[in-house]
Amino acid sequence: EAQVTQNPRYLITVTGKKLTVTCSQNMNHEYMSWYRQDPGLGLRQIYYSMNVEVTDKGDVPEGYKVSRKEKRNFPLILESPSPNQTSLYFCASSPQGAYQPQHFGDGTRLSIL
Amino acid sequence: SQQGEEDPQALSIQEGENATMNCSYKTSINNLQWYRQNSGRGLVHLILIRSNEREKHSGRLRVTLDTSKKSSSLLITASRAADTASYFCATDAFAAGNKLTFGGGTRVLVKP
């Protein structure tokens, strides 16, 4: 089954404790991206990647890092999480770019205390 | 920045009625997409309309695009309780590289 898998689905942690949210897709997609969703703000793109070793900033990249060492994986790293990063995070992928339908994961709800 | 702005923010209708929501955007786009999100779940792609298209249909969905007004509408005909969800528009543009920008969404409640 074609899918985008995020882990963990839920995480409660404390300020400053580094965390990684993993994202994996099994569709051989080149384009992957991360979004955060906050009430009233819709989804805002954090980072995206056109292919292995190619990443670019989205609209809200501050406080986040990403890497794309393999085509299928696109982890989101919060080196020093802060409470304003408490949010619902989504990973998505598409064959080649933003101009195509995106396949979304089920989301990761992060609470930073 | 939010490229797309949805209107209304929330909509409540009876089953069987039509639901219409609008999306406005600020800069020229390549494509506009509509997505559905059931409560707390990932987004599901509904329909994509290119900047040179004016109307598209998919089942009970009808999307229009007016590039002169920088707006799009999504019509769901003969709504069902299962259509209860949030609906988002998303745009991509040459000027924005490979970014995809979402609007704030419209929450639709279909009452049985």
| Average pLDDT over every residue of B22-50 | 94
Average pLDDT over all residues of chain B: 93
Q: Which residues pair with B71 in a beta bridge?
A: B24, B66
Average pLDDT over all residues of chain A: 96
Say how many residues make up chain B.
Answer: 112
Residue B2 has pLDDT above 60, yes or no: no
Give me the numbers of helices (H) and strands (E) for chain B, helices first please.
Answer: 0, 11
Nearest CA-CA distance, residue A71 and chain B, Å: 17
Query: Residue A24: its pLDDT value, please?
Result: 98
Query: Residue A9: its pLDDT value, please?
Result: 96
| Average pLDDT over every residue of B37-66 | 96
Nearest CA-CA distance, residue B15 and chain A, Å: 26
Query: Residue B3: its pLDDT value, please?
Result: 58
Q: How confident is the model at residue B98 (pLDDT cuts 50, 70, 90)?
A: confident
* Whether A45 and B101 lie within 8 Å, measured CB to CB: yes
Query: Residue B4: its pLDDT value, please?
Result: 67
Query: Residue B58: its pLDDT value, please?
Result: 96
Q: Which residues of B touch A4 (CB under 8 A)?
A: 42
Query: Residue B63: its pLDDT value, please?
Result: 98
Listing DSSP states for B38-74 in one string gives -TTS-EEEEEEEETT--EEEETTEEEEEETTTTEEEE
Q: Which residue has the higher pLDDT, B39 or B34?
A: B34
Considering only CB atoms, B31 lies closest to which of A90, A99, A105, namely A99
Are B34 and B42 in contact by the 8 Å Cβ rule? The answer is no
| Average pLDDT over every residue of B15-34 | 95
| B-proximal residues of A, 53-112, CB under 8 Å | 56, 58-59, 88, 90, 92, 97-107
Residue B44 has pLDDT above 60, yes or no: yes
How do residues A39-74 score in pLDDT, each as one tens digit?
A: 888 899 999 999 999 999 999 999 999 999 999 999
A31 vs B56: CA distance, rounded Å: 25
Residue A4 has pLDDT above 50, yes or no: yes
How do residues A13-24 score in pLDDT, each as one tens digit?
A: 999 999 999 999
CA closest to B96 among chain A residues: A58
Query: Residue B95: its pLDDT value, please?
Result: 77
Alpha carbon A109 to its chain's center: 11
Helix (H) or strand (E) holding B76: strand B71-76
The token duo for A18 is 């580094």
B111 vs B52: CA distance, rounded Å: 36
Query: Residue B1: its pLDDT value, please?
Result: 42
Are B43 and B88 in contact by the 8 Å Cβ rule? The answer is yes
- CA neighbours closer than 13 Å in the CB half-sphere of residue B18: 9
* Whether A59 and B101 lie within 8 Å, measured CB to CB: yes
Considering only CB atoms, A33 lies closest to which of B41, B44, B100, namely B100
Pairs across A and B, CB distance < 8 A: 70
